Amino acid sequence: MSKIKLQWKTQAGNEVANALGYNTHNKAMKRWGAAHFDYNDDAPVALHIVPADQFVPIAGKKNVLFTMWEFLQIPTTYKAALNMADAVITPCRWCNNLFRESTNKPIYTCFEGVDPSVYKFHKRSEPDYAKGERFRYLWVGAPNMRKGYPALLAILKQFEDDPTVEVYFKTTAPRMTWAQYFMAIWKMRGKILRGCVKAHEWTAIWRQLYRIPTPSLAGKVRRCGKHKNVVFDTRYLSQHELVALYNSAHAFVLPSFGEGWGLTLSEAMATGAPCISTRHTGISDFFDDSVGYVIGSNVMLHDLPHYQMKAQGYVPRPEEVAAHMHGVKANYAEALQKGRLASERITKRFTWENSARRLAEIIREVHNGVDNDSRS
């Protein structure tokens, strides 16, 4: 079958600002899509993989918007973008259903993926505590509240007193010191544990996070905790180094508030790391109790100042995060079995090669003007 002509409108690291997920998505999908597409700026169809409020359609073309969202209500800018597109693609079924409430344009689902030649299964074993080895829990994400690290910070006291444990945060350089952030969380610990933190209180901390510059933290690894077993790593890592970090973890933790897909979770699963995560929004397409440990959530109202709106979203329960972390360590043989099943699921079903093949099917339909109400 001949290749499909397609204008790949967005360029990773350029038009998608600092959105790591979108950049990774652009790079991987374009690479694997080369087997199916003839990239040509004169093509009649243009693909835009961007947050919806950055979508600018090209006149005279069929414009396909590949986007996602993580809360239960959609900003007006997103609704407008969905209706400007000729077709919409989302990476998960949850977004597909959500977007249908705001547009009658064709909506398709095309999962994200991993490269199984890079994110391979890695055999793990329990640490030798007699030799001073530690059980490493790893969290990877951008320093924003949606990625769920407030739930981890709220329970750190349970782990910083344990010399057999290491809690490792891999993030980008924050704009306030982690000591300042931890102090803010610590002052709210009672409310966090009772689950009664108000949206405006979370917002106040969120704003602090982006207001106080601390360039001294950039590119460094900082240790704290009673046994220096809480690590904040803000270094830039190559893909090879990131894979090595996943492989060094005995368990991966992602108490996310919401995901369009959940790329770091799928990457960690591919390596066989036992995973502890919420299961909602995009994550629900590939993660469940058979391959990991599910954290329960409550629905709460969130303040989204960038979009000048409030929206309902999920908030993980810190006590369940802690319970699963203790449980995985105590029953590691069982956890490793789930990790192996998780790796098999991701590396067989959720690959960039499969995603590119699905994208080609969608773009071919758009080319042909097919109106198929059974899209999924």
pLDDT, tens only, 128-160: 999 999 999 999 998 788 999 889 988 998 998
Tell me, yes or no, whether 292 and 184 share the same domain: yes
Residue pair 32/66 in contact (Cβ under 8 Å)? The answer is no
Alpha-carbon distance of 286 to 345, in angstroms, equals 8
Tell me, yes or no, whether 142 and 67 share the same domain: no
Tell me, yes or no, whether 258 and 333 share the same domain: yes
**Predicted pLDDT of residue 211:** 44
| 162 in any annotated domain | yes
Q: Is the pLDDT of residue 215 over 50?
A: no
The residue among 276, 370, 363 whose CA lies nearest residue 322 is 276
| 27 in any annotated domain | yes
Alpha-carbon distance of 305 to 349, in angstroms, equals 37
Q: Is the pLDDT of residue 181 over 70?
A: no
Give the residue, 154 or 102, on which the prediction is more confident. Answer: 102
Give the residue, 17 or 135, on which the prediction is more confident. Answer: 135
Tell me, yes or no, whether 174 and 203 share the same domain: yes
Mean pLDDT, range 204-208, rounded to an integer: 55
196-200, 283-287, 334-338 — which is least confidently predicted?
Answer: 196-200
Q: Is the pLDDT of residue 348 over 80?
A: yes
Residue 326 CA neighbour count, 13 Å, CB half:
11
31-49 per-position pLDDT tens digit: 999 999 999 999 999 999 9
Q: Is the pLDDT of residue 217 over 90?
A: no
Tell me, yes or no, whether 217 and 71 share the same domain: no
Tell me, yes or no, whether 311 and 345 share the same domain: yes
**Predicted pLDDT of residue 306:** 85
**Predicted pLDDT of residue 356:** 98
Alpha-carbon distance of 249 to 325, in angstroms, equals 13
| 303 in any annotated domain | yes
In the chain, which residue ranges form alpha helices assigned H by DSSP? 20-33, 76-84, 93-99, 149-153, 157-160, 178-187, 189-194, 199-209, 239-248, 263-270, 318-330, 332-349, 352-368
Mean pLDDT, range 72-85, rounded to an integer: 97
What are the structure tokens assigned to 37, written together?
A: 């597409």
| 60 in any annotated domain | yes
| 121 in any annotated domain | no
Tell me, yes or no, whether 179 and 95 share the same domain: no
| 376 in any annotated domain | no
Give the rounded percent of residues in the chain with a pLDDT score beyond 90: 71
Residue 376 CB burial class (10 angstroms; 0-12, 13-18, ≥19): exposed
> Buried b / exposed e across 329-365, counting CB within 10 Å, b at 16+?
beebeebbebbeebbebbbeebbbeebbebbbebbeb
**214: number of Cβ within 10 Å:** 15
Tell me, yes or no, whether 104 and 169 share the same domain: no
Q: How many domains does the chain have?
A: 2
Tell me, yes or no, whether 88 and 154 share the same domain: no
**Predicted pLDDT of residue 218:** 54
Tell me, yes or no, whether 356 and 238 share the same domain: no
| 119 in any annotated domain | no
**Predicted pLDDT of residue 1:** 73
**Predicted pLDDT of residue 191:** 66
| 120 in any annotated domain | no
- Structural domain range at position 166: 129-349
Tell me, yes or no, whether 79 and 170 share the same domain: no
Taking all residues of the chain, what is their mean pLDDT, rounded to a whole number?
89
Alpha-carbon distance of 37 to 337, in angstroms, equals 39
Tell me, yes or no, whether 330 and 209 share the same domain: yes
